[in-house]
Structure 1
């Protein structure tokens, strides 16, 4: 899905006809759906709500109280049926940008049965001051006695000038700067390792591919690109199989510490999302507490019956 490829710091705006409706009783999605949603929930509405919850999106139409005639965005040819199915959706992080969102019935759009939906955005950009970024030192080298002694001597030599400073602010700035410079000089810069499950063979191919790209040798680059993808897939498959065996062994030994450690290695710090579900009486459960309680209870009917309830 295109939403998954958008960087988190970018402003995501979705506009269009989603053919989705939902009533104000689904306001359980706090920060996503507001009180202005005059139509009953349909199948597309359930999908849209799950999309918004999964990607932290905010439906602007539902948060601005207007007359009923300024809420509907589609009118049927029979002259009676009208619904709100066109939406302006934006990231929750940037929802304060939306100052107004409403439907303009008087706008001429030819023979279209939709009405014009407009939203006003106000974006204020601030210049970001550049700050000197401190380089992380390799503090693991302090375990070596020789390196630890050398670092202590370097620190002592640099702190001889502390006696000439009077204010606490100057003392702190001097201490921070001299400690960082001494660490970079003696310990060096900390290196961040590659994926632990990549083999040396794969790393060599990745490096060859990078050099080919820098030299402009696109023929070699494309050939190594396929080799790289196959090797990464092989290493990843072997890593997952190895971790599965370790998880199974830890579960048999009831070693919870090792069990959760191997599980964290597999998930790679990815936090799962919790989508809305339908209760047994057909009500939409969207808040995290209600969803967790629903999943704790066993299903009293077959899975195909559950999906038929969701579709209805």
Structure 2
């Protein structure tokens, strides 16, 4: 490829990079894997004769989707041997992500966990259709299916997601209020305070990846979750650590950054229903915390 062609390829790739990253991340739930997919896409893109590509954006999304699908199928097998629950990799996001309600919902920890229950092709079709609004023929070219087959897959995936997704979208203000009550109770080990802010059917999931201590299976019920949280605070204090929680915005939604003696220990994302916390997702695996120190730009367009 000539220097001029390389410049043109670079300009186009950079213009669509945030979109491509968001596609890959929503498909994979891993920022690190999404970055690898973008690198693979770039290596293929610079070999393309741009004059033969009528829709460069669609072409790049198609390549990104195929690379993400390949990686997703491998990751699915790898996650079967993961120690404890596997949670998506949290990302500190720019303010514009939180302002885009549709985008914030599509990358929320709760929604990303629902997407984890889809088969790889179902996930790709759902993400491209529901989140990004691609036409069925465009998706068909990306997943190597007929448009008719893609319609069927999209219908099946949508029905599956609708049965499991959060019942309604909660405002950031409501989530921040619940998080503040939770923070005060958590930092002091106040079991009753935790019970007051937790929904009766609250679920806790911790991801330590076998590197940091975390529950090896989901904890169900407000009483068990409250005592687990209070116990975590007690263990930290007993070991001489100073525990602090600070507000942050992860995946477009209010969350808490957990620090031990000033060092980042993990991220807590939550799902709120009726002003109470129904889901807590605590990512402690240090290999998943590289994207919480600086903002990541995401976009659906």
Query: What TM bracket, shorter-length normalisation?
Result: under 0.3
**TM-score normalised by L of structure 2:** 0.24
For CA contacts below 8 A with separation 6 or more, give which structure has more relative contact order.
2
Q: Which has the higher helix share?
A: 2
Higher Rg of the two aligned structures: 1
